[in-house]
Structure 1
């Protein structure tokens, strides 16, 4: 009798072990592969998450998930975020992903020199926001003031980079903007940058504005940024208009009247707070979100007497000190160049 009881107990233990293994390490779900994005909301716990996974066909046993989750301690690590699972994954794999915070992210690349209008489009095309969402956030005065920036917008402070955006930020443009502004201030030490800006006669915000113009005007070699910077610094000191086409274009975009990507003569005399052909000094705010190199160039200009530069049509520019010299280069690299290519 005792022998039969021992044998029965051993069999039960073996069956229990097999069942536990299947529940924890294998997934017996059959049929079509299902994917599910688990959104962990504030207040969620192991039981609510287990129900979500079960009701969406990702796990079979809520009990197995809860027990393993407790053993892994994930009940103490739950924060609002998102994970992507499928019904071919074991409970062990699911719990391990949560324990190790392998959150579901979407890769978004914001190129250097992107404007807030372009950034809004980039994130909308990734399905993270609706068009206009980021524009509403970056022009919200109370949000701008939160970062201690003296401007009417966060243009210039949305750091261009490749981001792995938590899926949980979907529909949350405030969090997306905050992510980018914080990236800017991780790259730029505000106290140090403000000191460097002051040394060249600029405020913190003016330096970022100048960096944005340099970003749009400078050619391919990064060394050119420092030469372009010297031209603008020299013009600012002499109270000469910066005469940057990039600022004119931004003003037209901001007014909603830039449509065919073709800068016309009348555009240069159309007054906006960004038109540096008719206004002396810097525009009222940045015209794009500059690279780190352009930010450096704005406060570390090359030591030159240059006042002009013109494109050589190969991604580089030629610089000059006098208007006469400049006009000769305009004739060579612009007028004659394009005349012989018609």
Structure 2
């Protein structure tokens, strides 16, 4: 029979070995965890976090090719649930620890930028460039690359723009919001969304937006457009030449003669192939639901509103009254 003292000694040695083994494992885990938390991760400087559970957020970030995993879900539960909305990551490169901490605590500073009905995308991009300190050329390049149409797709609105957003991210944000709103309006009116048909209405709505003195006139201006088109008449509307960088330029007789673009409704029949500007809901509704009139002409009076008429002779008299 073995000596009890030897047996106790061996048991103590075994326990010590197990303790040392456990300690080694713990140390490995701690070192690995520290290494993981110091691992670099690249993200946009400003990141959008959708609403949802931590697992849903991590899953969506994985779909967007971010280097995150289930361990991050566990760590976030210890730190705190990520806030939905725009997050200021501080830098494009962070350690995993800083990244997770910012997910749970940071918010991006937002700046309001307003797109008014009737404004062209060119001028709005200039506004964005000036107010957000972004590169106009890159904004324009990204818009033409991402947008399904060169003009008229943006919905007039006051947008909350996160400071630090890149040109590419900003255009993507504006288009997502606008296209979603366009589809909602189309489904509300027609029960479906046909992009080609919708863009056709946007083009007519853009002329209405540029020509109308107020919202009340819009269905009447719309009726004039449709009546002239039905008769095969040129629209001959100054507002069609207030496109792009000419959004606020006075349309002169010289400009009408020299502008050979497809926007010039004095030269070409029909409506331009794309909208002239970005339009409000009232102009879209007027394009879809024009007033029932026989009007073919209108002229801005000294009151600032328009005089509408069916007869050219009366139209000439209205021009005389407005200019005398």
Tell me the residue number matched to 1:62.
Answer: none
**Shift in CA distance, 233/266, structure 1 to aligned 2, threshold 3 Å:** same
Of 211, 219, 227, the match for 1:217 = 211
SS in structure 1 of the partner of residue 249 of structure 2: coil
Is 1:82 the counterpart of 2:118 in the alignment? no
Tell me the residue number matched to 1:49.
Answer: none
Question: Deviation of residue 174 (structure 1)?
Answer: 2.8
Query: How far, CA to CA, are the matches of 1:127 and 1:187 in structure 2?
Result: 24
Question: Deviation of residue 266 (structure 1)?
Answer: 2.0
Is 1:166 the counterpart of 2:162 in the alignment? yes
**Shift in CA distance, 223/163, structure 1 to aligned 2, threshold 3 Å:** same
For residues 261-289 of structure 1, the C-alpha deviation after alignment (integer angstroms, 9 at most, x for no partner) is 34321211222111000100011211110
Is 1:266 the counterpart of 2:260 in the alignment? no
Query: How far, CA to CA, are the matches of 1:265 and 1:311 in structure 2?
Result: 17
Tell me the residue number matched to 1:73.
Answer: 80
Question: Deviation of residue 39 (structure 1)?
Answer: 4.1
**Shift in CA distance, 100/230, structure 1 to aligned 2, threshold 3 Å:** farther
**Shift in CA distance, 260/285, structure 1 to aligned 2, threshold 3 Å:** closer
Tell me the residue number matched to 2:131.
Answer: 126
User: May I ask how many residue pairs the two structures share in their alignment?
Assistant: 247
Question: Deviation of residue 133 (structure 1)?
Answer: 2.3
Is 1:181 the counterpart of 2:175 in the alignment? yes
SS in structure 1 of the partner of residue 263 of structure 2: coil
Query: How far, CA to CA, are the matches of 1:103 and 1:128 in structure 2?
Result: 16
SS in structure 1 of the partner of residue 222 of structure 2: helix
Q: Which moved more, 1:302-311 or 1:99-108?
A: 99-108
Question: Deviation of residue 239 (structure 1)?
Answer: 1.4
Taking the TM superposition and a 5 Å limit, the aligned residue runs for 1:216-255 are 216-220=210-214, 222-250=215-243, 253=245
Report the TM-score, using the length of structure 1 for normalisation: 0.62
**Shift in CA distance, 324/196, structure 1 to aligned 2, threshold 3 Å:** farther
Return the index of the structure with the highest Cα Rg: 2
Where structure 2 has 5 or more consecutive residues not aligned to the other structure, the ranges are 1-43, 48-65, 70-74, 91-100
SS in structure 1 of the partner of residue 303 of structure 2: coil
Query: How far, CA to CA, are the matches of 2:286 and 2:247 in structure 1?
Result: 31
**Shift in CA distance, 297/259, structure 1 to aligned 2, threshold 3 Å:** closer
SS in structure 2 of the partner of residue 114 of structure 1: coil
Query: How far, CA to CA, are the matches of 1:276 and 1:312 in structure 2?
Result: 22
Question: Deviation of residue 241 (structure 1)?
Answer: 0.8
SS in structure 1 of the partner of residue 242 of structure 2: helix
**Shift in CA distance, 189/115, structure 1 to aligned 2, threshold 3 Å:** same
Preserved contact between residue 87 and residue 107 of structure 2 (Cα < 8 Å): no
Tell me the residue number matched to 2:52.
Answer: none
Q: Which moved more, 1:185-194 or 1:227-236?
A: 185-194
Question: Deviation of residue 181 (structure 1)?
Answer: 2.4
Taking the TM superposition and a 5 Å limit, the aligned residue runs for 1:58-207 are 70-74=77-81, 81-82=87-88, 99=104, 102-140=107-145, 143-144=146-147, 149=148, 151=149, 153=150, 155-169=151-165, 171=166, 173-189=167-183, 192=187, 195=190, 203-207=197-201
Query: How far, CA to CA, are the matches of 2:46 and 2:143 in structure 1?
Result: 27
**Shift in CA distance, 100/290, structure 1 to aligned 2, threshold 3 Å:** farther
Query: How far, CA to CA, are the matches of 2:153 and 2:321 in structure 1?
Result: 38
Tell me the residue number matched to 2:278.
Answer: 289
Query: How far, CA to CA, are the matches of 1:177 and 1:40 in structure 2?
Result: 14
**Shift in CA distance, 159/272, structure 1 to aligned 2, threshold 3 Å:** same
Aligned-residue CA RMSD (Å): 3.6
Where structure 1 has 5 or more consecutive residues not aligned to the other structure, the ranges are 1-37, 46-67, 85-94, 337-342
